[in-house]
Chain A
Amino acid sequence: MGLSMSLERMRYLKNYFRDRPPTDVELQMIAQTWSEHCFHNVFKGDVLVDDGRLINSILKTYIMGATRELNKDWCVSVFEDNAGIIDFENGYAIAAKVETHNHPSAVEPFGGAATGVGGVIRDILGVWGEPVALTDVLCFGPLETSYEKLPPGVKHPRYIYRGVVAGIGSYGNNMGVPTVSGAIIFDEGYTGNVVVYCGCIGILPKHAYVRDTRRNDLAVLAGGRTGRDGIHGVTFASAELTEEAEELRSAVQIPNPIVEERLRRAILRIRDERLATGITDLGGGGLSCAAGEMAHRSSLGVDINLDAVPLKAPDMAPWEIWVSESQERMLLSVPEENLERVLQIFGEEDVEASVVGRFVETGRVRVFTRNRVVCNLDLNFLFTPPRVTRRARIPVLPPASVDLEEPRDLAGELLKLLSDPSIRSKEDVIRTYDHEVRGCTVVKPIHGDEAGPSDAAVIKPLKDSWMGVVISCGINPFYPDPYWMAAASIEEALRNNAAVGGRRIAILDNFVWGSPEDEDNMGRLLRAAEACYDFSRALDAPFISGKDSLYNESPLGSVRPTLLVTGVGIMPDVRNVVSPSLKEEGSPVYLIGLTRGELRGSAYLRLKRVDGGEVPKVDAKLSKSIIDTLIRAVDEKLVLSCHDLSEGGLGVAAAEMVAASKNLGIALDTRRVPSSVCRSDYLLFSESASRFLVEVDKNRWRRFEALFSGLPFSRIGEVARGLGLRVTDLNNVVHELSGVEIKKAWRGY
């Protein structure tokens, strides 16, 4: 039956169904609801650690724990619904959600990625939000991988890359939601397991957030028809990607963005007329999960008539209808007196909608077809699966020293880094995504006429307010210590956000990991979660939503453990945003933060194929002081341009600022970098956290220095005309690159 359930759980079910045999519809529903994808057994279960600790739910202890302790009054709804909701402006709130769609994208890249976008848009609609921006972060195997290296069942990274990029562009462009932020990473750790993160930001009037399904409300299913596409998507999500995965192509849904576009229109009209009492999207587990969850969260039961569900194929079995994950469908609870108007709106928007059932006081889910009951389950039973206990072994990162001769040609090393596939400009991809539709995009994913980089995207969602939403991300999968990897990812999301002026930042976590049945994987997961708790609290940034995708396994092994942190901040007046392009000849350039010899996992050492040294660590107190002070400097309009230091360190950050500029460059002196490091290449390419490169108004640098007094900073150079990047190294040797050389390496033209 393809239940993908453990023997232990099968025995538990056997015991539960002592009095009568379960139906296929019931077994399928239980399998979907209890799947890792839907229930997050590992994050909600117990973890037995090799040091003797017993952790009662990683999710509650660490992720939600930090949010609970921070207790921000601007968090409207967190970890409750399809998306996290935070306060915005003028009675509006922002909804944010990030999902993964890895397995479908590995099997059918275009459809898998497109439906990932479609799914996360529905998550926003599912909290009555109007989608206003999309994000996507993608991790692929190296595009030049030789075919001989690929075991059967693993598709070539170039094929996956093309399909995924086209799928994301197609769905977002067709829906008319701008794709404003993202990243693309290439590494062998993703050759067997592509990673596709899709995020969506929405906006809603706070009073429109209605979640009050009542007894006797009708269950209205609206949108696309239900078909055999996307059957067992959630259980497939926890299966290893082997040769046989190809046979599971039917687990991937078929995208139809225009149906969702119409659905969006209708749902927003129903929201504004306050005609429904509740809404949820049909995602993993399809109608079975949506109807069950909606009834359960309102302490009700539900009766569903499968004969009323519009089908793509007339001969579908009842269980197929019940668990199909066909796209572009939403379930609403509608009071009977509003039904006519609701159906009228759906009709006017060319959306098919049908009453498929009714919410009742039974506390049970009952499914009918042809006057027979084919499912009759207690919702409390359904939503309390047996707890899972996993074992975790805390990883120890063996120390390693770095054996690397200092290169003479620092400029050459920098050019190599700038053209590294993970660092170089993603302009050729970004331009295929519409990032201007809706006319709200203030800071675009590529900046200005020179197509420079952006640290974060800014959108202005309300016509009558200058307040902007600032969207950033942090991802550092190459740092081999999972604790500091997570810390660096959180800090990077905040740093990127602050670099354009964002503040009051909420964060979202998305874990992509290998099998949790492996104790080492679990140990790494636990360490990363501990860092989430520590740094969310210390950096004052609550988690508002998150998702984990475990079981990313292929014949090439586990996926590289990857944590994406998405930052959602605000900017009180978008006219004051800061960009990374240099503005004025003669402005002083400051480096904020401490540069340490932290290069383990850095882009530079990976380029050199060397592993060793120290991973970048985050000093939370210092980070918070620096970010808070930077925001003050932005608000006092002292900052002309700013760029955060991340992959490739100071060298890459300075070069990227030059790449973003017309005829302006930077002359900088490494001897002035606040640091105790005594090698020029380490100074240039260290990836120490909490650092910014800032161009300051030349008439007001004293005020800038006064603001930062007590914090590590230094004036390391100035903006010069007709120059690219000029670096004076510790031995007083000057290394120089022209703007043309930098742009050629970074942009490719």
Chain B
Amino acid sequence: MGLGRFKACVLRTGGTNCDLETRIALEEVGVKAEIVHMNQVEKKSLLDYHLVVIPGGFSYGDYVRAGAVWGKRVLARLRLELERFIEEDRLLLGICNGFQVLVEAGILPGDGVSETPLVALANNSSARYECRWVWLRVENNETPFTTAMKRGEVLRIPVGHAEGRFLTSSEKALENLKKNRQVVFRYVLPSGDEANGLYPYNPNGSTYDIAGICNARRNVMGMMPHPERAFYGWQLPEWSREPPEQGDGRKVFESIINYFEKHW
């Protein structure tokens, strides 16, 4: 696995604040990662990268809906390039604010860009910011982001957001997500059983306990929890004597490199 064979672009703009740790996670698994400001992105071509990550933060202050402003800017500046990027089966990952951006841009859950929102990430039902470690169950391990996981496996990863309540525009939209197996992660109880909306296991009141989804093509994923904050064992909330070597979030990044090695 040669460092530099695969290239990732970690996008940022004013208010992005998880770009450094996201880059570190990518580099640790052997991806060459570059942080690119939105103001510089037009000088680059997204097609030079195998992976684009939109990391967490409060882009433009999230003074409108979280991710709304950046979502529109991504469309305005990068729409054509992104459509081609997705068609070429390159990978696009949105974490927390990045997930909100992908939803606001209409890139998720659709294929290409949908004009009317099918899903939304609304204010948490607790009506406040929630920083806590949750239990996530892997619902679909056949995406490029989850190949290093087992289906039904329970991961420990923290969330930190005020607007993460996943909503669908209709029952049908939810049924479609399920039918297409676009639900990638769900919040569950520590036992792995369904949370059924139970707070704080489902920390935000998401419909169907949804924590992360992908597009039908499987190469765009958005998730509210932060895998880059659960990368090393010492980041875990509790360990006795010695921390484990690795955190569960690492598996997201390892899946990506597995996918690259197979397909590129």
Chain A positions within 8 Å of B, measured between CB atoms, are 169, 173-176, 256-258, 261-262, 348-350, 430-442, 444, 447-449, 460, 463, 574-575, 579, 581, 583-584, 637, 640
Chain B residues contacting A448 (CB-CB under 8 Å) are: 237-238
Q: Contact check: which of B39, B226, B234 meets A460 at CB < 8 Å?
A: B234
Chain B residues contacting A258 (CB-CB under 8 Å) are: 14-15, 58, 60-61
From A581, which residue of chain B is reached at the shortest CB distance? B238
CB within 8 Å: A-B pair count:
102
Q: Contact check: which of A261, A437, A442, A584 meets B160 at CB < 8 Å?
A: A437
Minimum distance in angstroms from B236 CB to a CB of chain A: 9
Which segment of B146-154, B177-185, B240-248 sits at the interface? B240-248
Given contacts A439-B21, A447-B237, A448-B237, is CB(A434)–CB(B160) below 8 Å? yes
Chain A residues contacting B128 (CB-CB under 8 Å) are: 431-432
Minimum distance in angstroms from A437 CB to a CB of chain B: 6
* A174:B58 contact, CB within 8 angstroms: yes
The answer for the CA separation of A433 and B243 in the assembled complex, in Å, is 24
11 intermolecular pairs with C-beta atoms under 8 Å apart: A174-B61, A176-B17, A261-B17, A348-B37, A432-B128, A433-B129, A435-B131, A437-B229, A438-B18, A449-B133, A640-B240
The answer for the CA separation of A531 and B202 in the assembled complex, in Å, is 49
* A436:B226 contact, CB within 8 angstroms: yes
* A433:B235 contact, CB within 8 angstroms: no
Given contacts A173-B58, A434-B131, is CB(A449)–CB(B37) below 8 Å? no
> What 5 new A-B contacts, CB under 8 Å, besides A261-B14, A439-B21, A449-B237?
A174-B61, A176-B17, A258-B15, A261-B58, A640-B240
* B234:A439 contact, CB within 8 angstroms: no
Q: Contact check: which of A433, A439, A440 meets B131 at CB < 8 Å?
A: A433
* B237:A444 contact, CB within 8 angstroms: yes
Q: Does B194 belong to the interface (CB within 8 Å)?
A: no
From A637, which residue of chain B is reached at the shortest CB distance? B241
Q: Does B132 belong to the interface (CB within 8 Å)?
A: yes
Interface range, B side: 35 or more
From A166, which residue of chain B is reached at the shortest CB distance? B128
Minimum distance in angstroms from B73 CB to a CB of chain A: 12
Chain A residues contacting B37 (CB-CB under 8 Å) are: 348-349
Given contacts A176-B18, A436-B229, A575-B234, is CB(A583)–CB(B133) below 8 Å? no
Q: Does B29 belong to the interface (CB within 8 Å)?
A: no
Q: Does B94 belong to the interface (CB within 8 Å)?
A: no
Chain A residues contacting B243 (CB-CB under 8 Å) are: 575
The answer for the CA separation of A486 and B244 in the assembled complex, in Å, is 40
Chain A residues contacting B58 (CB-CB under 8 Å) are: 173-174, 176, 257-258, 261
* A438:B20 contact, CB within 8 angstroms: yes
Chain B residues contacting A432 (CB-CB under 8 Å) are: 128-131
Q: Does B254 belong to the interface (CB within 8 Å)?
A: no
The answer for the CA separation of A719 and B160 in the assembled complex, in Å, is 34
The answer for the CA separation of A262 and B56 in the assembled complex, in Å, is 15
* A349:B61 contact, CB within 8 angstroms: no
The answer for the CA separation of A9 and B138 in the assembled complex, in Å, is 71
The answer for the CA separation of A433 and B129 in the assembled complex, in Å, is 7
From B129, which residue of chain A is reached at the shortest CB distance? A432
Q: Does B40 belong to the interface (CB within 8 Å)?
A: yes
Chain B residues contacting A436 (CB-CB under 8 Å) are: 131, 158, 160, 226, 229, 235
Q: Does B24 belong to the interface (CB within 8 Å)?
A: yes
Minimum distance in angstroms from A229 CB to a CB of chain B: 17
Minimum distance in angstroms from B49 CB to a CB of chain A: 20
* B242:A575 contact, CB within 8 angstroms: yes
The answer for the CA separation of A300 and B60 in the assembled complex, in Å, is 39
The answer for the CA separation of A434 and B132 in the assembled complex, in Å, is 9
From A468, which residue of chain B is reached at the shortest CB distance? B234
Minimum distance in angstroms from A450 CB to a CB of chain B: 8
The answer for the CA separation of A430 and B237 in the assembled complex, in Å, is 14
* A583:B241 contact, CB within 8 angstroms: yes
The answer for the CA separation of A440 and B39 in the assembled complex, in Å, is 28
Chain B residues contacting A440 (CB-CB under 8 Å) are: 21
Q: Does B228 belong to the interface (CB within 8 Å)?
A: yes
The answer for the CA separation of A237 and B67 in the assembled complex, in Å, is 38
The answer for the CA separation of A359 and B235 in the assembled complex, in Å, is 47
Chain B residues contacting A256 (CB-CB under 8 Å) are: 61
* A350:B20 contact, CB within 8 angstroms: no
Given contacts A176-B17, A258-B58, A348-B39, is CB(A439)–CB(B235) below 8 Å? yes
Chain A residues contacting B241 (CB-CB under 8 Å) are: 583, 637, 640
Minimum distance in angstroms from B205 CB to a CB of chain A: 15
The answer for the CA separation of A700 and B67 in the assembled complex, in Å, is 54
Chain B residues contacting A169 (CB-CB under 8 Å) are: 129
Q: Does B231 belong to the interface (CB within 8 Å)?
A: yes
Chain B residues contacting A441 (CB-CB under 8 Å) are: 235
Q: Which of A348, A431, A435 counts the most chain B CB atoms within 10 A?
A: A431
Chain A residues contacting B238 (CB-CB under 8 Å) are: 447-449, 579, 581
The answer for the CA separation of A436 and B228 in the assembled complex, in Å, is 10
From B61, which residue of chain A is reached at the shortest CB distance? A258
* B129:A176 contact, CB within 8 angstroms: no
Q: Contact check: which of A349, A584, A637 meets B14 at CB < 8 Å?
A: A349
Q: Does B57 belong to the interface (CB within 8 Å)?
A: yes
Q: Contact check: which of A442, A463, A574, A575 meets B24 at CB < 8 Å?
A: A463
The answer for the CA separation of A440 and B20 in the assembled complex, in Å, is 11
Q: Contact check: which of B20, B226, B231, B235 meets A442 at CB < 8 Å?
A: B235
Chain A residues contacting B17 (CB-CB under 8 Å) are: 175-176, 261, 437-438
Chain B residues contacting A637 (CB-CB under 8 Å) are: 241
From A177, which residue of chain B is reached at the shortest CB distance? B17
Q: Which of B17, B56, B61, B133 counts the most chain A CB atoms within 10 A?
A: B17
A interface footprint on B164-194 (CB within 8 Å = 1, 0 otherwise): 0000000000000000000000000010000
Chain A residues contacting B21 (CB-CB under 8 Å) are: 438-440
Minimum distance in angstroms from B109 CB to a CB of chain A: 27
Q: Contact check: which of B39, B235, B237 meets A350 at CB < 8 Å?
A: B39
* A348:B237 contact, CB within 8 angstroms: no
Of all A-B residue pairs in the complex, the 7 with the closest CB atoms, nearest first, are: A176-B17, A448-B238, A439-B21, A258-B61, A432-B129, A434-B160, A262-B14
Chain A residues contacting B14 (CB-CB under 8 Å) are: 258, 261-262, 349-350
* B130:A431 contact, CB within 8 angstroms: yes
Minimum distance in angstroms from A381 CB to a CB of chain B: 42
Interface residues of B in 115-133 (CB under 8 A from A): 128-133
Minimum distance in angstroms from B152 CB to a CB of chain A: 21
The answer for the CA separation of A435 and B40 in the assembled complex, in Å, is 30
Chain B residues contacting A460 (CB-CB under 8 Å) are: 234
Given contacts A257-B61, A258-B58, is CB(A174)–CB(B15) below 8 Å? yes
Minimum distance in angstroms from A113 CB to a CB of chain B: 15
Chain B residues contacting A438 (CB-CB under 8 Å) are: 17-18, 20-21
Minimum distance in angstroms from A682 CB to a CB of chain B: 34
Chain A residues contacting B235 (CB-CB under 8 Å) are: 436, 439, 441-442
Q: Which of B20, B58, B228 counts the most chain A CB atoms within 10 A?
A: B58
Chain B residues contacting A640 (CB-CB under 8 Å) are: 240-241
From B247, which residue of chain A is reached at the shortest CB distance? A439
The answer for the CA separation of A262 and B242 in the assembled complex, in Å, is 38
The answer for the CA separation of A348 and B240 in the assembled complex, in Å, is 46
Minimum distance in angstroms from A451 CB to a CB of chain B: 9
Q: Which of B14, B20, B24 counts the most chain A CB atoms within 10 A?
A: B14
The answer for the CA separation of A584 and B21 in the assembled complex, in Å, is 34
